[in-house]
Structure 1
Amino acid sequence: MKTLIIIAACLLAFVANAQDKMNKFHIVDSLTEKPMPQTSVTIVRAKLSIATEKDGVFIIPGDLSNMQDTVILNSQNYRQLKIPIYLMDGMDTIRLSKFVIEHFDEKLKFDNDTLLNDYNRKDVVHYAGINTRTANFDYLQMAQQFYIAKPGTTLKSITLNRLAFGLDLSGLTWSGMVRMDKTKFRIRVYAIDPVTKGPGRDLCNQVIEEDESVGRQVNINLKKYNIHIPDTTFFVAIEWIRDFYNAGFSLGYDPKTNRPKKENNYRPALGISGTTGNKLNIWAMAYKREWVPYKYFMPYGTDMAMSASVAY
């Protein structure tokens, strides 16, 4: 039920004149009526986003009828739902409808493979996903665009670089143990959108969640998901799971008080490769769930520190 606490705490200032009313919502599958955990709940103008827990519940405090904002509910393989907050006044249950992603023949065999966007981990000195003194990181996902010679391949694996820390556990154990911090995140694979030329429809009909990632370099085998790449370009995105497990903070800067301030961040912080040039291959999903080119490190950071292996 921690989702309730986080959203309530974040919105207290937003609805300071109506803190006595608590509006509780249950997100369920429209067919099974089962709760939907890890649904992204985003309040657009307030720039707040959190993932529901096992009960699929979230709370927004205040008088919803007077709020001029929009809630976007998104869960993989479900139709996205966008609701003006004032229309949620009096609601209790919100149902999301599932859609089916076409799956290709698992009996197909591929004899060759190739590595895309290989990078040198020693060149990774910048990371995305952390607020800085000059800019907040206001994105929900970040994607790397890959290019292949011909369509009809399958995605075998990815390797990515992240900012990792050693946790000193010597005070908790009998030995001087140092363990790398863990993080969890979701992997999304997208086709190209014919209009925006950014990430489009999902190419995987299963949820891919990595929850045991340790160390700076993470290798993830994706063979069992049978992800078919229909075009000569595709995107692999990291979706932040915004919950207590991944929560942390960074020190930003408040221009009004001229003092540092704590800002919420969520692991992992993703590496930017040492490539330079004019061709940008990084995209980021803003709070409106719209994909935009991620230009923060340009012209230095044209690519994420992420490689992909495809079979053909």
Structure 2
Amino acid sequence: MRYLLFVSIMFSTLATVAQENLILNGIHKDSVCFYIGFQKVNEQFNYLQAAQKFSTEKAGSILQQVELGRLIIPANVVESRIVEPTNTTFLLHIYDVDSLTGAPGASLISEPLEVKNRSNPIVKIDLRKYKIRIPGKTFFVSIEWLTNSINQRFMQLSGNIELVPGKRFRKTAFIYQPFVGMVKNKKTTSDAWVMTSERQWKLYTHNMPYMTDIAISAHLVNN
């Protein structure tokens, strides 16, 4: 009986050891010091999606949770009080890597996941029920902006623009939540990718060398 109990404990310990929990690109609200999601003057929104690249040492990991750092901009503030909510809705994508280009490739989920968040600077998304297995060692987590009235914000830009001869108006632009954070991870290369309005992926190096990664973290289990 003691021998059977010892064997049972030994196998339980081995199973626990064999399962490794990993957090890639871990973020917290104090590490986020810049945000993307703002369009340029007199242009439509720049990008459709923004994706963070992740790499692991083992293939076949299970993606359990994603965290996203966002900037909170309420729709309306009166006397330092938020009188309209900071609700945002966006789509979450999980991609394999394109072996030819190194960009995001085939989707690893049947359809993008709709995420709704009210006012959290760090959005935690539990993915355990989807059992998302990463086939290789590289994958991407991407957010897709929804340019609707819920996400829309109105930004006043510095300076004026002359639309009518002799009359100058303030520069303004529509911007859309979520305003996703970027962080510096002591790297000389960028692991941030963006999808253009032509639905083409390109490496995002605009904020190099100060910002190298999108504020998205991935929680994995390796078996």
Q: State the TM bucket, normalised to the shorter chain.
A: 0.7 to 0.9
Match of 1:261 in 2: 171
Q: Which secondary structure does the structure 1 equivalent of 2:205 belong to?
A: coil
Q: Does 1:204 align with 2:112?
A: no
**For the Cα contact (< 8 Å) 1:131–1:250, is it kept in 2?**
no
Task: Call closer, same or farther: CA 1:275–1:191 in 2, change over 3 Å.
Answer: same
**Structure 2: runs of 5 or more not aligned:** 1-15
Alignment of 1:134-213 (within 5 A): 137-165=45-73, 181-213=86-118
Question: What percent identity do the matched residue pairs reach?
Answer: 31
Give 1:170 shift: 8.1
One-letter amino acid of the structure 2 residue matched with residue 299 of structure 1:
P
Question: Higher relative contact order by CA 8 Å / sep ≥ 6: 1 or 2?
Answer: 2
Q: Which secondary structure does the structure 1 equivalent of 2:198 belong to?
A: coil
User: How far, CA to CA, are the matches of 1:116 and 1:189 in structure 2?
Assistant: 15
**Structure 1: runs of 5 or more not aligned:** 1-108
Could you tell me which of 193, 201, 217 is aligned with 1:307?
217
The structure whose residues are more often strand, as a share, is 2
| Deviation readout 1:243-298 (Å, 9 max, x if unpaired) | 12212222346766575322222110000113343210000000000000111211
Q: Which secondary structure does the structure 2 equivalent of 1:265 belong to?
A: strand
Q: Which secondary structure does the structure 1 equivalent of 2:71 belong to?
A: coil
User: How far, CA to CA, are the matches of 1:199 and 1:245 in structure 2?
Assistant: 28
| Deviation readout 1:53-76 (Å, 9 max, x if unpaired) | xxxxxxxxxxxxxxxxxxxxxxxx
CA RMSD of aligned residues (A): 2.9
Task: Call closer, same or farther: CA 1:133–1:301 in 2, change over 3 Å.
Answer: farther
Q: Which sits farther off after the overlay, 300-309 or 210-219?
A: 210-219
Match of 2:146 in 1: 241
Give the alignment's TM-score, normalised by structure 1: 0.58
One-letter amino acid of the structure 1 residue matched with residue 216 of structure 2:
M
Match of 1:118 in 2: 26
Match of 2:37 in 1: 129
User: How far, CA to CA, are the matches of 2:188 and 2:160 in structure 1?
Assistant: 33
